[in-house]
Structure 1
Amino acid sequence: MAFMNISEDDYNMVFTAISSSFKLLADSYPFESHRNLLTLYDYENEAVKVMIESSKKKGAQVRTAEFSWPTLRIQSGKLQKKIVSKKKRKRGLFVFPLQSRLTGARYSYFWMSMAQENGWHVLLDATALGPKYMETLGLSLFKPDFLICSFFKVFGENPSGFRCLFVKKSSTSVLNDTTTASSIGIVRLVPAIKPSQHSEESSIADIATGSKANLELSLADILRAASGNPELEYRGLDHADSLGLILMSARARFLVNWLVNALMSLQHPHSENGQPPISIYGPKIKFDRGPAVAFNVFDWKGEKIDPALVQKLADRNNISLSYGFLHNIWLPDKHEEESWTLDKRKSGGGSILNEKRDKPHSGISVVTAALGFLTNFEDVYRLWAFVSRFLDADFVEKERWRYKALDQKIVEV
């Protein structure tokens, strides 16, 4: 809590498993009386998807922000109408991320302030922020009702990641008792020990289940569970502290902007329709952007290469990429000819109670590269060099044959 500049006088804290924080809050939030859930995500987030499904079962009306194509900027006017209402009623829960994990787009605190002024409870999603950045949150000014943050590779030993759910003490009374929370994983952290000291009673992480009362585990209680005078090691945070925020921010900004510029400079030697080999979605070269890039690779015929295949080939070359699905996209008339680039998916919306059926929605599957605070120039250069290999018209086919030559029967994508 000290690392995040959060006062114990203002917030309670719960350690949760990576996928549990959003569902835990959704199961406890009174959507029966505060019927609205408003989210702001330009990509498909599995944890938020689970929250939406849980809230719908409790009768919530789910709405989401829309994003312009292809910049993926927020449709400000539409979002403002969803936040502001002349009717005086209990609004509901506004889920606001500071940054897109896929595109690197950053969003203004203005939206959170507007929601608070119009009677919404606010969940601030800081999971896309890396070490050191979380302590710069403007919590003293805005004080969201709920805050979820992610600690990835913070400790020197496993587990490499967990999440924290912070609940403002003045908002605790809003939450309801729930029996469904009994199946949600709560993480108990204890100090790492040497293998010779390992016993059945001590472990690096203990996934526990229980009712709402079981969630109130204090850090002091957790620390008292190892023997002697244990100390938790924060190697990742210690390293971030040694670098400092200014150096980390500057390096991440230079690296991500170099990568974007280098990817956009690639050209097919012989292209049939002038389609560039790389399309980037969201912010491009920009001073204030997050260290993540969402893009797709196109062959010399202008056909998109499956992002899952790009990720698999990158993995084979010891390069860590991910792929996801951008959605909630608003396509203006002047970009109607680009609608062929969008995919159709089932939204997963609608519940059995009101007999609504799933509706297809437009989006696009993309490759995403995320830069961490340990990323250096060699890393981004190796990524660019890997992507440039797709300029070879036979690169993908060569990789398939190479896979078969190794006596592998299936190219797993």
Structure 2
Amino acid sequence: MNQTAPPLLEELTPAQAAFEAAYPDFSATRALDDLRAQEYARLDRLDHVYLDYTGGGLYADCQLHEHHALLSGNVFGNPHSRNPTSLAMTERVERARAYVLEYFNAPPEEYEAIFTLNASGALKLVGEAYPFEPGGHYTLTFDNHNSVNGIREFARAKGATITYAPVTAPELRVDMAQLEAALAQAQPGKHNLFAFPAQSNYSGVQHPLTLIEKAQAQGWDVLLDSAAFAPTNRLDVHRWRPDFVALSFYKMFGYPTGVGCLLARREALAKLRRPWYAGGTISIASVQGDGHYFSEGAAGFEDGTVDYLNLPAVEIGLRHLAHIGIEQIHERVLALTGWLLAQLTALHHSNGRPLVSIHGPTDLTARGGTVTGVFLDRNGAVLDERRIEELANRRNISLRTGCFCNPGAGEVAHGLTPEVMRAFFTGELGLSFAELRDKMQQQYGKHVGAVRISVGMVSNFADVYRLVNFARSFLDRTNADIGPFGGPDHTCG
């Protein structure tokens, strides 16, 4: 036994008792254990430890039953008509839309709820239609999902200035001095867009929502990516008043997976100019007249026919969350994350070297339930995260490895400089993530991948307990000891 390891009790029951003594507020969330046994019983029946909630939420059995009962008990048709099946479906679609606004406390007289394929689709809607212009700005934080980074290509094409506000290691929080300097560059009369995540999908850092009002006061429209935040935190749109909010429903409650949403303030929505039109988005169009008029409001942004049979499942899922209570979910996630961080950071090899290096905060200050880092061997070398995932799979543990579609946070966490990164974008030929990983290690001795563990609504103590015991299996071992990665490799997911 490694004498420097933390006193993690070997039996689950006494370990949980010690955990609950350290986190007394956890006892108020016991209803979630009953919910797990009733609605998510497949987790324990299949002996599975699910720790990829930032990748996707889990659905309850009752969500499926209610949705399937609705479909089997009714005849629904395409809502773009006035026949009985169409009217019935339209009513359900608008019910879902209204409840989305209600759940997020977005006043319907001030905000529109626009259904999209996913959160990325919501972000693209804003990016392609925002009136970027020479003299205008697109400012964003290093810590952003690639779907937010991608908006820079729309801004670049229209001549806007693109500015990144960096994050600083080791906690990966925004450098406020540099962000404030960037926000001060807005020119009166020009269009300026500022984008940031409420919670990092990489590190779990929760960036201050007070940035919304601060940016707006200086002439910025604000795009808030809430995909990683909304599953375990209360987002009060009326309180914070962002101009645009991107949402992912499957990350919140697992089902359905093909629907996202853009919440848009009507005043900000009026600034957008769509570069094309499709069925469903126009009031009229003419071939011979060579013209078209967009529909008003949400309809002008919902391309083609919405995923109408799945939209009632959105209302069902949101009501499921509302019944549970997001505060209860938040409290559970906070406690489990605190224990997980304490245990992982206390693990040391027998020579005193740490086993885990966390990318982000190591305490609960302004952070969520996403924990990312690298495992280090007894000599301080990074253990291959792909092999760690392979070994986790053998124990029925679902975690995630890669760069998590957030290159900015990852580059800072791994100590990668602009000069190093630019060297990989000088040629015309593309580069896969696997090739980047290999070249980075060979040429610079650096890494680009990490291990991400994320807890969520029905995580329990046994889940994080088993994860920590799994982590302990790497004490005093090297890459040679754990064996090579068996493949196949994956993209930067």
TM-score under structure 1 length normalisation: 0.73
TM-score under structure 2 length normalisation: 0.62
Given the alignment, which residue of 453, 462, 468 partners 1:378?
462
Partner of 1:393: 477
| Structure 2, unpaired ranges of 5+ | 1-100, 282-292, 429-439
Partner of 1:129: 229
Q: How does 1:359-374 map to 2 (within 5 A)?
A: 364-374=448-458
Given the alignment of the two structures, is residue 37 of structure 1 paired with residue 138 of structure 2, yes or no? yes
The CA distance in 2 between the partners of 1:288 and 1:148, in whole Å, is 21
- Of Structure 1 and Structure 2, the greater strand share is in 1
Given the alignment of the two structures, is residue 52 of structure 1 paired with residue 132 of structure 2, yes or no? no
The CA distance in 1 between the partners of 2:258 and 2:423, in whole Å, is 29
Partner of 2:344: 263
Residue 59 of structure 1, CA deviation: 1.9
Do 2:349 and 2:355's aligned partners in 1 also have CA atoms closer than 8 Å?
yes
Q: How does 1:10-409 map to 2 (within 5 A)?
A: 10-18=110-118, 19-32=120-133, 35-42=136-143, 45-85=145-185, 87-131=187-231, 133=233, 136-152=234-250, 159-160=256-257, 162-179=259-276, 216=299, 232=313, 234=315, 236-269=317-350, 271=351, 274-322=352-400, 323-324=402-403, 327=408, 344-346=420-422, 364-393=448-477, 397-398=481-482, 400=484
CA offsets 1:172-211 (integer angstroms, 9 cap, x no match)? 22111303x769xx9xxxxxxxxxxxxxxxxxxxxxxxx9
Residue 286 of structure 1, CA deviation: 2.0
The CA distance in 2 between the partners of 1:265 and 1:224, in whole Å, is 47
Do 1:153 and 1:236's aligned partners in 2 also have CA atoms closer than 8 Å?
no
Do 2:202 and 2:409's aligned partners in 1 also have CA atoms closer than 8 Å?
no
The 3-state SS of whatever aligns with 1:367 is strand
Letter in 2 for 1:58: K
CA offsets 1:16-66 (integer angstroms, 9 cap, x no match)? 1223222221110111256211112425x2212322223222222211111
Do 1:132 and 1:237's aligned partners in 2 also have CA atoms closer than 8 Å?
no
Residue 394 of structure 1, CA deviation: 5.9
The CA distance in 2 between the partners of 1:225 and 1:75, in whole Å, is 43
CA offsets 1:273-317 (integer angstroms, 9 cap, x no match)? x53110012111125421111111011121112333333332343
Do 2:140 and 2:165's aligned partners in 1 also have CA atoms closer than 8 Å?
yes
Do 2:132 and 2:191's aligned partners in 1 also have CA atoms closer than 8 Å?
no
Partner of 1:2: 102
Letter in 2 for 1:377: F
The CA distance in 2 between the partners of 1:81 and 1:249, in whole Å, is 33
Letter in 2 for 1:151: F
The CA distance in 1 between the partners of 2:143 and 2:176, in whole Å, is 14
The CA distance in 1 between the partners of 2:254 and 2:380, in whole Å, is 45
Structure 1 window deviating more from structure 2 (86-95 vs 259-268): it is 86-95
Partner of 1:189: none
What percent of counterpart residues are identical?
28
Change (3 A) 1:36 1:311: farther
Do 2:397 and 2:467's aligned partners in 1 also have CA atoms closer than 8 Å?
yes
Partner of 2:59: none
Change (3 A) 1:349 1:75: farther
Residue 340 of structure 1, CA deviation: 8.1
The CA distance in 2 between the partners of 1:72 and 1:382, in whole Å, is 27
Question: Which structure ranks higher in relative contact order (CA pairs < 8 Å, sequence separation ≥ 6)?
Answer: 2
Do 1:36 and 1:60's aligned partners in 2 also have CA atoms closer than 8 Å?
yes
The CA distance in 2 between the partners of 1:144 and 1:167, in whole Å, is 8
CA offsets 1:191-247 (integer angstroms, 9 cap, x no match)? xxxxxxxxxxxxxxxxxxxx965961799x989966xxx954755434433332332
Partner of 1:201: none
| Structure 1, unpaired ranges of 5+ | 187-210, 353-359, 404-409
Change (3 A) 1:347 1:310: farther
Aligned-CA RMSD value: 4.0
The 3-state SS of whatever aligns with 2:124 is helix
Question: Would you say how many aligned residue pairs link Structure 1 and Structure 2?
Answer: 356
Structure 1 window deviating more from structure 2 (141-150 vs 33-42): it is 33-42
The 3-state SS of whatever aligns with 2:173 is coil
Residue 132 of structure 1, CA deviation: 6.3
The CA distance in 1 between the partners of 2:270 and 2:464, in whole Å, is 47
Letter in 1 for 2:464: V
Letter in 2 for 1:366: A
Structure 1 window deviating more from structure 2 (278-287 vs 27-36): it is 27-36
Do 2:232 and 2:330's aligned partners in 1 also have CA atoms closer than 8 Å?
no
Do 1:67 and 1:74's aligned partners in 2 also have CA atoms closer than 8 Å?
yes
Letter in 2 for 1:162: V
The CA distance in 2 between the partners of 1:142 and 1:261, in whole Å, is 32
